[in-house]
Structure 1
Amino acid sequence: MNDIIRYSEIAPDEKLSVFGLVNHFQDCSNCQSQSLGVGVDELIKAGRGWLLSYWQIDIKRLPKFGESVTTGTWAYSFERFLGHRNFIMKDASGEVLACADSLWVYVDTASGKPARAEGRLVDAYPIEPKYEDMDYETRKINTASHYDECGGFYVTKYQLDTNYHVNNAWYIQIAQEYLPDDFVPAMIRVDYKMPAVYGDKIYPYIGWTDEGRIQIDLRDGLNKTYALVEFAEA
């Protein structure tokens, strides 16, 4: 996808917001699915869906307002009920601005349980090599030893996606609110545990790891995690 950075996507520093970056990645993957004939409508008809389980997003530079960018994505592996997908954003000169790795779970939307990733809705995706120029972290995010509670808020309608869950990007947007003003994330990891829906109350907890990373654990009222978001500086 070739695009320019719009004013509605930028942060106060006139650069693409992290929320905007994640939306570029998500839009690209959804447009690929749509172009292959296995988009949202086809999944709904089949009673299937792809739920994001894990992100690792590496940010080298966020583009400025009006800058031309190219965003790409591809699947590199399917196994049982899991799908692996890379993302990349480049500037007009071909410089890599950001890249990402992601893990998705193929589910039966009626039961909410994983379904084997096979058949037309999966076979439509061409498999391409895994992106090599990225330092992949382990899938498991080791939690901080201590967290401080930071209040709570209710899920609103505008945060929902076509599954009627809080959209993946919103968890990152919410978590960023609790970062220090001078903290500039160079890597973001998210472990999605369970979906939040309209009316749910989310309780953020903030913790620091021994490596100096900040974690925002977004929990429900029973202390179960919706999503664990980790930010690391360069």
Structure 2
Amino acid sequence: MQPTIRYKKNYHVDLSDVDFQKELRLSALFGYFQDIANLAAENLGVGINQLLEKYGVAFVIMRIRVDMIRNPILDEEITIETWPLRPGKLEFERDYLVRDQNGEVIARAVSVWVIMDLKKRRLKRSEAINLDYPEYTEDRAINITLGKIKVSANLEDVYQKTIGYSDIDFNGHLNNAKYVDFIMDCFSLEDLHTYPIRSIEVNYLNEVLPGDRLVLKKDSTNKSNHTFFVDGVRESDEKIVFRSKVIVEGK
């Protein structure tokens, strides 16, 4: 396949990807995004294996926002399109559009990535890898610049989670899609049924490793505005490992 700036792939929503309402789990959608991001990177010569063999680095996601227009359902066929923007000095931006079989956009996402030296566990500048896009685009799936999510002052403990085998990806740290499951588990099934999530934004702040114990905390003081904040705090050093903002559908 010729290198292309816009990469598309079809996905079938399988039984293992849906929740109790037979709708695509957000964490499964994040998994799709991770999959197509690597395929698109491979097409441009900077996939997982290529980066590891040539440079000893990997792409690591730092920020993402996903806006849901409609949740895909069991057995639905969807198409995801992704494209990168011009790299910055440290960051790589990548956007996504999710379409149904009629070509209607049902979800939009924007993300920010960096490259990490897997031995030193340190970030490297974008110029450390040879990345030659066939063209550049300024198109955005969501017309925003991802920044820091505000600090919440009214966080309350919800539950604790110890990181184990099933949570870890090939980089040896907590997989980015797993964070979404942890966030979703801060809401009751009744709430998720009554108030579907329409937007989720995550800041990945510190690496999470096997054996780490996280305390999940939620701020519900903006509930009247249909907005919640969820943080994950490592118990051993009290560092915030992720911060998130969730907007639900108003009734």
Q: Which TM-score tier does this pair reach, normalised by the shorter chain?
A: over 0.9
* Contact 1:75-1:125 at 8 Å conserved across structures: no
Residue 178 to residue 223, structure 1, CA distance change in 2 (3 Å): same
Residue 220 to residue 5, structure 1, CA distance change in 2 (3 Å): same
Q: Counterpart in 1 of 2:229?
A: 215
Offset at 1:138?
5.0
Unaligned runs of 5+ in 2: 1-8
Offset at 1:48?
1.2
* Alignment of structure 1 residues 18-167 onto 2, 5 Å: 18-45=26-53, 46-118=55-127, 121-124=130-133, 126-131=135-140, 134-136=142-144, 138-167=146-175
Offset at 1:51?
1.1
Look up the equivalent residue of 1:17 and give its one-letter code: R
Deviation track 1:130-187 (CA, whole Å, cap 9, x = no partner) reads 325x353651211222111123121011111111110001001111001143231100
Look up the equivalent residue of 1:73 and give its one-letter code: T
Q: How far apart, in 2, do the equivalents of 1:12 and 1:191 lie? A: 27
TM-score (ref. length: structure 1): 0.92
CA RMSD in angstroms comes to: 1.8
Unaligned runs of 5+ in 1: none
Identify which of 208, 213, 218 aligns with 1:196: 208
Task: Indicate the SS of the match to 2:71.
Answer: coil
Look up the equivalent residue of 2:25 and give its one-letter code: S
* Contact 1:205-1:216 at 8 Å conserved across structures: yes
Look up the equivalent residue of 1:36 and give its one-letter code: L
Q: How far apart, in 1, do the equivalents of 2:31 and 2:106 lie? A: 15
Residue 48 to residue 161, structure 1, CA distance change in 2 (3 Å): same
Q: Counterpart in 1 of 2:245?
A: 230
State, as a whole percentage, how many aligned pairs show the same letter. 23
Q: Counterpart in 1 of 2:182?
A: 174
Task: Indicate the SS of the match to 2:154.
Answer: coil
Deviation track 1:51-101 (CA, whole Å, cap 9, x = no partner) reads 111011000001111111101111012111110110111001111111101
Look up the equivalent residue of 2:163 and give its one-letter code: V
Offset at 1:109?
2.4
Q: How far apart, in 2, do the equivalents of 1:206 and 1:126 lie? A: 42
* Contact 1:38-1:124 at 8 Å conserved across structures: no
